[in-house]
């Protein structure tokens, strides 16, 4: 993924700010990462080799991060502000990737339609089909076009839903950060 360094930097900042691994995992899942990728990013952000950690290490590590946070309160506030910008950047890049994927699919459908137009023009130009055969082929093409139109509508609805979901994820992340900031 092209935004791997942005994700890694964001996870490091979330860890420094004392966020629990579960919250970080949830955020990464919302951005479409799989469990293996999440484990790898978390391990890399913590400076470890990717492996399963004993359950007893998590509370100690969180406590150490909180103690460091108390000593470095002012730099931490700047990092939290930076992490909000990173979340926005992640959301924007994820949204951009989704739009690019959908745009590529729409372009592919458009190319197929253009190919159909060329085939229809060549068939009509040759006069090799009877009127009945042309009617049946045209009705077949119309049903295929209707199907393609429905697919495009579904893609558009999916894109809109994904954008709304990403906005809600960002807002939830902001609320979590603000709640954590208020607790300090």
113-144: b (≥16 Cβ within 10 Å) or e:
eeeeeeeeeeeeeeeeeeeeeeeeeeeeeeee
Cα distance between residue 20 and residue 111, in whole Å? 48
User: Using CA atoms, how far apart are residues 49 and 94, in angstroms rounded to an integer?
Assistant: 27
Structure token pair of residue 127: 């006069």
Confirm if 8 and 44 have CB atoms less than 8 A apart: yes
The predicted pLDDT at position 126 comes to 65
Q: What pLDDT does 169 receive?
A: 93
pTM of the model: 0.30
Instruction: Determine contact, residues 102/22, Cβ cutoff 8 Å.
Output: no
Look at residue 2 in the predicted model and tell me its pLDDT. Answer: 41
- pLDDT tens digits for the chain (184 residues)? 446 777 888 888 888 877 788 888 888 887 788 889 889 988 888 888 655 443 333 444 444 545 454 444 445 455 555 556 666 777 777 777 777 888 888 888 888 888 888 887 776 666 666 778 778 888 999 999 999 999 999 999 999 999 999 999 999 999 999 999 998 7
- pLDDT on residue 178: 92
């Amino acid at each position: 993924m092209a935004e791997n360094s942005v994700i890694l930097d964001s996870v490091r900042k979330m860890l420094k700010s004392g966020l629990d691994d579960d919250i970080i995992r949830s955020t990464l899942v919302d951005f479409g990462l799989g469990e293996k990728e999440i484990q790898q990013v978390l391990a890399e952000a913590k400076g470890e080799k990717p492996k399963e950690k004993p359950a007893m290490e998590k509370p100690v590590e969180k406590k150490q991060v909180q103690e460091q946070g108390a000593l470095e309160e002012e730099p931490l506030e700047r990092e939290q502000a930076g992490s909000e910008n990173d979340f926005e950047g992640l959301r924007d890049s994820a949204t951009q990737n989704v739009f690019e994927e959908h745009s590529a699919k729409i372009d592919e459908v458009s190319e197929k339609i253009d190919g159909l137009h060329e085939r229809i023009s060549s068939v009509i130009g040759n006069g090799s089909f009877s009127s009945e055969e042309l009617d049946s082929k045209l009705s077949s093409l119309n049903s295929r076009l209707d199907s393609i139109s429905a697919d495009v509508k579904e893609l558009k609805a999916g894109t809109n839903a994904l954008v709304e979901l990403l906005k809600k994820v960002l807002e939830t992340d902001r609320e979590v950060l603000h709640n954590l900031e208020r607790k300090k």
